[in-house]
Amino acid sequence: MAESATPLIHPSRIPNRWIQLVAGIVAMMAIANLQYAWTLFAKPLQAHMHVTLTAIQWTFALFIALETWLVPFEGYLVDRIGPRFMLGVGAIMVGLGWIGAGHAETLHSLYFWYGLGGIGAGIVYGGIIGNALKWFPDHRGLCVGLCAGAYGIGTALTVAPIASMIKASGYQHTFIFWGFIQGFVVLASALFLARPPVGWVPAGWEKKEAQIKLHVNSSSVDMTPGQMVRTGSFWVIYGMMTLVAFGGLVVTAQLGPMAVSYKVDKIVVAFGMTALVLALEVDRVLNGLTRPFWGWVSDHIGRENTMAIAFTCEALAVLALLQLISHPIWFILLSGLCFFAWGEIFSLFPSITGDVFGRKWATTNYGIVYTAKGVASIFAAPGAAWLFARTGSWTKVFWAMIACDLIAAILAFFWLKPLAARTVQESNTGLRAVNINAPVKARGVA
């Protein structure tokens, strides 16, 4: 898998990396509604199509599956030809996804259009995260966290307008109106993106790299996807992300139905907003802030230590929500805390992927890790809805979330931490051996 030595865009025309970071943040905010505003559409769709909630929630599962499982292939294309063209294609799919969903009159049509939106969102998400991993090895946790945080916080600006528009004009008009807006914003943002020139590193990188290695397991070797999946570190990372993503996606997909079940969905709390709408506002803000925050923390105390702390906090937040969910104020505060303690996986897991497996194939490699979110979605959307329909309660779903979070916290500290360190040590040792045995070739490398 050799990367082309000739960039598609001349280095003199590549925008400053901080400008690219801002463009990526804007694009992420534009696609956030596809996932995080979905819960507002679930009940109106169910009523309009006269089907079960489980049938409707398969749309969300399909969206997540297509958003995640195709990212490795999409990431490979981004690594090969750069992010600008690929994100332009993704922008069109993102727009058509919601526009088509607004016209859908059958489940199959809804599945098709929302699935198309999922493919587009995956291109955008994977491309933006991969670009940040490549441009910011010196601030990996923070900058990836800012991009991922934009995906979490983006809906904070739109959830109230979307909820009002659904109430005033219906969900179909809302889908179509926002579909046009989201597609256009992503398309405009894509124009500012480009991959780094081959061999590029930030100024003063050698000194910064030495400082970074004091806190995180950072490899000097760029592993191909095939090499990555043959390491034990990859499979532990993948399993942990699946466990923690499950709990977060349950809250993301089912918060609206949960609010209905516990009769807090229509209680007006403040500013004329119901507990559900205000909870969604708070959740989106905290879901955005958590990603750069925990990413910054992980730059200083290590990824695995940060994971253990955050995942334990998530388990405690879910336990408290289980006890107090029927109280509107606690419903708002504790659902927000749940998002604050789980959303960081979208900064921590890409960061540790870049740390352990290198930068060159970062988009593809994280794309493979990101498919864990698709696996989790099957259990979080239709799976949780099925368990609720079967038992008439969300209690067992909550306990499953708590167990997954605690298992992941234990794995992070006691298994992943030493395993990742060993993987990095072995890869770096192999690189040094190659350099020692081939001094003539080493001198010929620019």
pLDDT tens digits, residue range 358-417?
Answer: 888 888 899 899 899 888 988 887 888 888 889 989 999 999 999 999 999 999 999 999
pLDDT score of 7:
54
11 Cβ partners below 8 Å, 6+ apart? Answer: 197
How far is 48 from 303, CA to CA, in rounded Å?
Answer: 45
Eight-state DSSP code of residue 193: -
Given CA atoms 80, 240, 116, 94 in this order, what sign does their dihedral have?
negative
CB-based burial label for 257 (10 Å; 0-12, 13-18, 19+): buried
Short-list 4, 13, 27, CA closest to 132: 27
pLDDT score of 431:
56
Is residue 364 a contact partner of residue 126, using CB atoms and an 8 Å limit? no
pLDDT score of 285:
85
Given CA atoms 307, 312, 315, 321 in this order, what sign does their dihedral have?
negative
- Listed by start position, the domains of the chain span 13-197+208-217+227-425
pLDDT score of 169:
94
pLDDT score of 94:
97
Q: What residue ranges of the chain have pLDDT lower than 50?
A: 1-6, 434-446
pLDDT score of 181:
96
How far is 295 from 293, CA to CA, in rounded Å?
Answer: 5
Joined tokens for residue 250:
């349950």
pLDDT score of 100:
97
pLDDT score of 242:
96
pLDDT tens digits, residue range 285-332?
Answer: 888 889 899 989 998 899 999 999 999 999 999 999 999 999 999 999
DSSP labels, 314-362: HHHHHHHHHHHTTSHHHHHHHHHHHHHHHTTHHHHHHHHHHHHH-STTH
Give the alpha-carbon dihedral of 73, 75, 81, 83, to 10 degrees. Answer: 140
pLDDT score of 214:
63
pLDDT score of 445:
29
State the angle between helix axes of 53-69 and 38-49 in degrees (0 to 180), rounded to the nearest 10: 130
How far is 291 from 149, CA to CA, in rounded Å?
Answer: 5
pLDDT score of 92:
97
Q: 13-197+208-217+227-425: what CATH class?
A: mainly alpha
> Phi then psi for 274, rounded to 5 degrees?
-75, 165
pLDDT score of 322:
94
Beta-strand runs (E) in 154-274: 268-270, 273-274
